[in-house]
């Protein structure tokens, strides 16, 4: 039996590969079940993995794909936004059409005895270990002789400044209004109580509220809600967690050095 090529599509494949079939299935299950915990059980993933997936999806789009509600007699719930429904529909259309294209491409490559399809596709996909992938739009660029300061708007209240080389600005063809994805390792994110940040030289001080806290044996993971469906994750030592005393619901400030941010653009 001849096996036809099947594409496992991921949006933003050159940068983060965050919107793949698994997370689209999670979106669909949230829509059907009405809660993230129920969707996690139905898809066979942990509650934390499901939440991480939803956070990543919301961070990659201008508008949140999933909204959540807390409290009430029956507890909290989750629902898919109109944009979330459109993303699901678009994903399936693109996946179907791309699979047709790959089938035709594979036949042509086989006939011409040229490079094989797996060899072609292998170089097109790259994943990153950076936990935070935040989409924003460039609002200012301050060029320098070697490095340039690029500031992007994340939410109505939050801005993020990255320090990258001028060569990178040119290579990525960055300009005012360009949409970019900021990649930040969670270990590069420092935390402080929102009302006790003090004077710092770093320009990135993103304020929000602690929405989740996952405690471990060595490190603890904080998720900070920045508003507009955007979140940022920080991993700190358990000792630092005890000193901070931050818990779910507390206002907090995420502090990031501009040189610790990588910018990526859609190809």
Q: What is the DSSP string of the chain?
A: -PPPP-----BTTTTT--B-HHHHHHHHHHHHHSSHHHHHHHHT--HHHHHHHHHHHHHHSSS-SEEEE--STT--EEEE-HHHHHHHHHHHHHHHHHHHHHHHHHHHHHHHT-S-HHHHHHTT------SEEEEEEEEEEE--SSEEEEEEE-SSS-EEEEEEEHHHHHHHT--TT-EEEEEE-GGG-EEEETT-----S-SEEEEEEEEEEEE-SSEEEEEEEEETTEEEEEEEEHHHHHHH---TT-EEEEEE-GGG-EEE---
Query: Given pLDDT bands bounded at 50, 70 and 90, which one contains residue 16?
Result: very low
Listed in order, the ranges of the chain carrying CATH 1.10.10.10 are 1-127
Domain 130-267 sits in CATH at 2.40.50.100
Record the pTM: 0.66
Query: Given pLDDT bands bounded at 50, 70 and 90, which one contains residue 124?
Result: very low
Q: Is the pLDDT of residue 114 over 90?
A: no
**Residue pLDDT, tens place only, 239-248:** 999 999 999 9
Q: Which residues contact 260 (CB under 8 A, 6 or more apart)?
A: 184, 185, 188
What pLDDT is stored for residue 96 in this prediction?
A: 73
Query: Given pLDDT bands bounded at 50, 70 and 90, which one contains residue 118?
Result: low
Topology annotation, domain 1-127: Arc Repressor Mutant, subunit A (1.10.10)
Which region among 6-10, 53-57, 85-89 has the lowest average model confidence (pLDDT)?
6-10
Listed in order, the ranges of the chain carrying CATH 2.40.50.100 are 130-267
One-character DSSP codes across 150-203 = EEEE-SSS-EEEEEEEHHHHHHHT--TT-EEEEEE-GGG-EEEETT-----S-S
The owner of tokens 């989740």 is 212
């Amino acid at each position: 039996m001849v096996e036809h090529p099947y594409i496992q599509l991921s949006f933003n494949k050159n940068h983060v590969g965050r919107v793949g079939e698994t997370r689209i299935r999670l979106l669909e299950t949230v829509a059907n079940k009405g809660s993230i915990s129920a969707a996690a059980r139905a898809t066979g993933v942990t509650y934390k993995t499901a939440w991480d997936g939803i956070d990543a999806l919301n961070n990659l789009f201008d508008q949140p794909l999933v909204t959540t509600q807390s409290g009430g007699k029956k507890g909290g719930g989750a629902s898919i936004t109109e944009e979330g429904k459109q993303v699901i529909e678009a994903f399936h259309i693109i996946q179907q059409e791309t699979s047709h294209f790959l089938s035709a491409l594979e036949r042509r490559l086989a006939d011409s005895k040229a490079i094989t399809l797996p060899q072609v596709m292998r170089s097109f996909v790259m994943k990153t270990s950076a936990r935070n992938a935040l989409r924003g739009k460039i609002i200012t660029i301050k060029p320098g002789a070697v490095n340039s300061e690029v500031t992007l708007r994340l939410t109505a209240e939050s801005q993020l400044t990255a320090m990258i080389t001028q060569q990178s600005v040119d290579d990525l063809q960055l300009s005012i209004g360009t949409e970019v994805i900021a990649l930040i390792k969670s270990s590069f994110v420092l935390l402080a109580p929102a009302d006790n940040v003090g004077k710092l030289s770093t320009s990135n001080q993103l304020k929000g509220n602690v929405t989740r806290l996952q405690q471990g044996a060595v490190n603890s993971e904080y998720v900070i809600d920045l508003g507009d469906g955007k979140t940022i994750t920080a991993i700190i030592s358990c000792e630092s967690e005890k000193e901070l005393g931050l818990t779910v619901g507390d206002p907090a400030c995420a502090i990031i050095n501009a040189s610790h941010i990588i910018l990526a653009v859609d190809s």
